[in-house]
Amino acid sequence: MKTILIFNAGSTSLKYQIFDLQTLKVLDQNEFNIEEKGKERKVLQEALFDKILAKAKSFGELQIIGHRVVHGGPYFTTPTIITKDNIKELEKNSILAPLHNPHNILFIKLALKKEKNIKNLAVFDTGFFSTIPMENKILPIPYKYFKQGIYKYGFHGISHEYVANAVAEKLNKKLSSLNLIICHLGGGSSVSAIKKGKAYDCSFSFSPTSGLPMTTRTGDMDPGVIFHIMKNDKLSLNQAIDLFNKESGIKGISGKNSSKEIEDGYLAKNDLDTTCFKLINNAVKKYIGAYYATLNKVDAIVFTGGIGYHSKIVRNDILKDLPFKNKIKSVIIKTNEELLIASYCKKFLK
């Protein structure tokens, strides 16, 4: 049997799936929580890599390793075979996605080091959103920065791409005929506008800190707040990056570390948890309303991600006051980023 191995390394987790190359049937999968930091984390990650690699080889001949990479920057817009020659270009994007890219790249480096004859395909969260038109992509800052690659990239693109195709199949329509609003809600959250099957806009902008309020990330933020806090608290750049990426969002407001805790607190009528619950859901509503206005016609509002797929309470709260909710289908899809990456891997082997 010939196999495909997929790594999906997150900020605090590692997911993998092993696929049969011929059928794309899942042979094995698992997810590990990783709380260790610094050198201890790297040691654990390498040990997990070795364990997972051995598992993949136990099923047969490993053909290719696929990797989810969060930020491709301006250089990487399509699935790309990563080599020692282009990995340095990829590393330049780590500062743009500090919670994710360093871990994505670590597993690529381990694969390049330990399995020199096996190809490594990187699939980028930003890739699907490379079709966003100029008027939605450009930022209102001096144009010279656009030429330096500073513009809206969008993230969670692998999930949004998978879900868009799954919705088309579910509705029995061509994706190219559909306008969709996709809500990927989880520890990190995003909303996308899909116009005639292609990405038209995304709540995420230049970095994964933007858009919706999230578990530890601020989402959209008045830059004046950032300047004020950095000046008054005398924060370094790295301290500010940590504050707005790791200590903000619902954790910053409530001290809690998951949306499930916030939902439980909301049901228990805890004031601060209710504030967080409404803050996040209202932000989702605002994006849905804005994308409804810009798309003009919407075939479905789609929910995915750990919260979007599993929490009926969240979905109902988001939808209940939308004036156009009865005109549009509401669809729930379980995302599968690893399967989409595996399908790209299979194409590269043909």
For residue 112, what are the contacts with CB-CB under 8 A and spacing of at least 6? Answer: 82, 83, 84, 87, 120
Which of 228, 259, 261, 258 has its CA nearest to residue 243?
Answer: 228
Across-strand partners of 56? none
Catalytic residue among 50, 85, 125, 299: 125
Identity of the residue numbered 265? G
Question: Residue 198 has which token pair?
Answer: 């292609």
Question: Residue 83 has which token pair?
Answer: 């080599």
Phi, psi of 14 (to 5 degrees): -140, 120
Between vectors from CA 187 to CA 185 and to CA 188, what angle results, nearest 5°?
A: 70
CB atoms within 10 A of CB 43: 11
Q: Assess whether 222 carries a catalytic annotation.
A: no
For residue 41, what are the contacts with CB-CB under 8 A and spacing of at least 6? Answer: 34
Decide if 268 contacts 168 (C-beta within 8 A). Answer: no
Helix, strand, coil % over all residues of the chain, rounded to 5? 45, 20, 35
Catalytic residue numbers?
A: 125
